[in-house]
DNA sequence: TAATAAATGTTATTTTATAACATAACATCG
DNA sequence: CGATGTTATGTTATAAAATAACATTTATTA
């Protein structure tokens, strides 16, 4: 996977803003953004690409912190519940939410080659999905729209050098 | 998970039709629907709910057939490549495609309680997603829309008895 | 038939996620 | 403050999902 600067994606917040935002939201909700949880969120935001749970665990250990898989998964569960991160089911990785606060199902473009992710926020898609579920009397608990492919930058490359 | 008859879902084919259809399609394409691959497809279609790879493996062994995880995953890979089944990334399970032949990204309503799945075929959603990817110059390789929730039947139940 | 390619068998391992229980930190009340 | 209940984290072990690597068999084709 190549690493690169930024995918031309919708209005996006940066790591610093994300952490500040997370603190505000958790405070308002009476949720405890502990040091561990905050650090996991920071690790996720500092990465150019989404991270797997075990990669995050390695980074926690690099901090000198002790930990095991449950350490990470619990923090991730908290962040997911607070709508601060998303899980990309196609790749089993986690990425920071670009619109925290408004609980929403994710819409993602995931580049197979460089791993970068673009979070969409297309209300028309949400609307159509809501119409489908309403028509069927289906109660929505979680929702994900994931498109795996190749981003413009990687399409410029001669071919897929995987 | 409760088991039940049928979710009120779009025009759907049954197991028998699916197998016949698969044979026709594979023949047209020069793809080999071997006995193993056919049997895996049949197992998937005979189930009221999507199945995990290891459940399918157990069923193959019940047939008296020998096998290991790769046996199943290879067959699943073939069926996926032929567009005969879909993988639901949220649950790591596989389900028969209700519109085989037209390669398409899946759109699914998945009931958390009874496990049954409804495959949508909303062209407007496909259209919006295509518009998003086109606008970004993003080449689509795979696409999935998954909504996890509670189906009408399960909503009739007093509460979530998990 | 011999050579080639495709499919399957087989063993081992990697990757992802959770169960179960112990300890520590934090809050709330007497 | 100290006792009590609750939440968060530490820790060990295991479950669940997927793949790597190589051997063998089956099918295709020259
Ligand atoms: Zn988001
Ligand atoms: Zn890319
Ligand atoms: Zn389909
Ligand atoms: Zn249901």
Pick the closest to residue B61 from B85, B40, B75, B45 (CA basis): B40
For residue B134, what is the domain's CATH number?
1.10.10.10
| Residue environment code for B110-147, b if the CB has 16+ CB neighbours within 10 A, otherwise e | bbbbbbbbbbbebeebeebbeebbeebebbbebbbbbb
Q: Do B60 and B41 form a contact (C-beta atoms < 8 A)?
A: no
pLDDT over 70 percentage in chain A: 90
Compute the distance between CA of residue B91 and CA of residue B73 in angstroms, rounded to an integer: 16
Pick the closest to residue B161 from B117, B113, B116, B115 (CA basis): B113
Q: How confident is the model at residue B101 (pLDDT cuts 50, 70, 90)?
A: confident
Compute the distance between CA of residue B107 and CA of residue B96 in angstroms, rounded to an integer: 13
Higher pLDDT, A2 or B123: B123
pLDDT at A159: 54
Compute the distance between CA of residue A12 and CA of residue B112 in angstroms, rounded to an integer: 32
pLDDT at A160: 46
pLDDT at B7: 43
Q: Do A147 and B126 form a contact (C-beta atoms < 8 A)?
A: no
Six-digit token pair at B97?
Answer: 């495609």
Average pLDDT (A123-147) is 96
Q: B106 phi and psi, to 5 degrees?
A: -80, 155
Average pLDDT (A16-36) is 96
pTM of the predicted structure, to 2 decimals: 0.90
Flag the least confident range among A12-16, B23-27, B89-93, B145-149.
A12-16
pLDDT at A13: 81
Number of domains in chain B: 1
A2 part of a folded domain: no
Say how many CA atoms lie within 13 Å of B44 toward its Cβ: 30
Flag the least confident range among B10-24, B133-147, B148-162.
B148-162
- Name the β-bridge partners of A117: A110
Mean pLDDT of chain A: 90
Average pLDDT (A65-81) is 97
Residue B73: Cβ within 10 Å count = 13
A76 part of a folded domain: yes
pLDDT at B19: 97
Torsion sign, CA atoms B134, B136, B142, B143: negative
Average pLDDT (A135-158) is 93
pLDDT one-digit tens code per residue, B74-98 = 999 999 999 999 999 999 999 999 9
The residue segments making up the domain with residue A104 are: 9-156
Residue whose tokens read 């899946």: B106
Average pLDDT (A41-45) is 98
pLDDT at A158: 59
Q: What H or E segment, with its residue span, contains residue A19? A: helix A15-29
Strand duo A106-111 + A117-119: pairing? antiparallel
Burial class of residue A9 in the structure, from the number of CB atoms within 10 Å of its CB (0-12 exposed, 13-18 middle, 19+ buried): middle
Chain A interface disruption, residue of B149, B157, B162, most A CBs within 10 A: B149
Whether residues A144 and B142 touch (CB distance < 8 A) is answered with no
B123 part of a folded domain: yes
Residues by chain with Cβ below 5 Å of ion ligand 1: A 97, 99
Is residue A85's pLDDT more than 70? yes
A124 part of a folded domain: yes
Distance B7 CA to D9 C1' (A): 43
Whether residues A109 and B8 touch (CB distance < 8 A) is answered with no
A119 part of a folded domain: yes
Q: Do A91 and A103 form a contact (C-beta atoms < 8 A)?
A: no
pLDDT one-digit tens code per residue, B126-151 = 999 999 999 999 999 999 999 999 99
pLDDT one-digit tens code per residue, B40-80 = 999 999 999 999 999 999 999 999 999 999 999 999 999 99
Residues by chain with Cβ below 5 Å of ion ligand 3: B 97, 99
Is residue A87's pLDDT more than 90? yes
Six-digit token pair at B136?
Answer: 């970004």
Residue A91: Cβ within 10 Å count = 19
A28 part of a folded domain: yes
Q: How confident is the model at residue A105 (pLDDT cuts 50, 70, 90)?
A: confident
pLDDT at B10: 42
CA of A137 to the centre of ligand 3 (A): 22
Binding-site residues on chain B for chain A (CB distance < 8 A): 8, 89-90, 105, 109, 111-112, 118, 120, 122, 124-125, 128-129, 132-133, 136-152, 155
pLDDT at B1: 46
Is residue A7's pLDDT more than 70? no
A162 part of a folded domain: no
B1 part of a folded domain: no
Pick the closest to residue A85 from A28, A125, A42 (CA basis): A42
């Amino acid at each position: 996977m190549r690493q690169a600067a930024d995918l031309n994606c919708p209005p996006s917040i940066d790591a610093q803003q994300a952490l500040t935002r997370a603190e505000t939201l958790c405070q308002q909700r009476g949720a405890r953004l502990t040091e561990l949880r905050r650090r996991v969120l920071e690790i996720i935001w500092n990465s150019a690409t989404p991270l797997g749970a075990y990669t995050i665990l390695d980074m926690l250990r690099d901090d000198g912190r002790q930990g095991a898989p449950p350490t990470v998964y619990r923090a991730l569960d908290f962040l997911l519940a607070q709508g601060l991160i998303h899980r990309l089911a196609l790749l089993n990785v986690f990425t920071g939410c670009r619109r925290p606060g408004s609980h929403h199902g994710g819409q993602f473009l995931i580049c197979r080659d460089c791993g970068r992710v673009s979070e969409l926020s297309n209300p028309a898609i949400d609307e159509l999905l809501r119409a489908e579920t309403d028509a069927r009397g289906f109660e929505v608990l979680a929702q994900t729209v994931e498109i795996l492919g190749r981003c413009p930058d990687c399409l410029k490359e001669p071919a897929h050098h995987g």
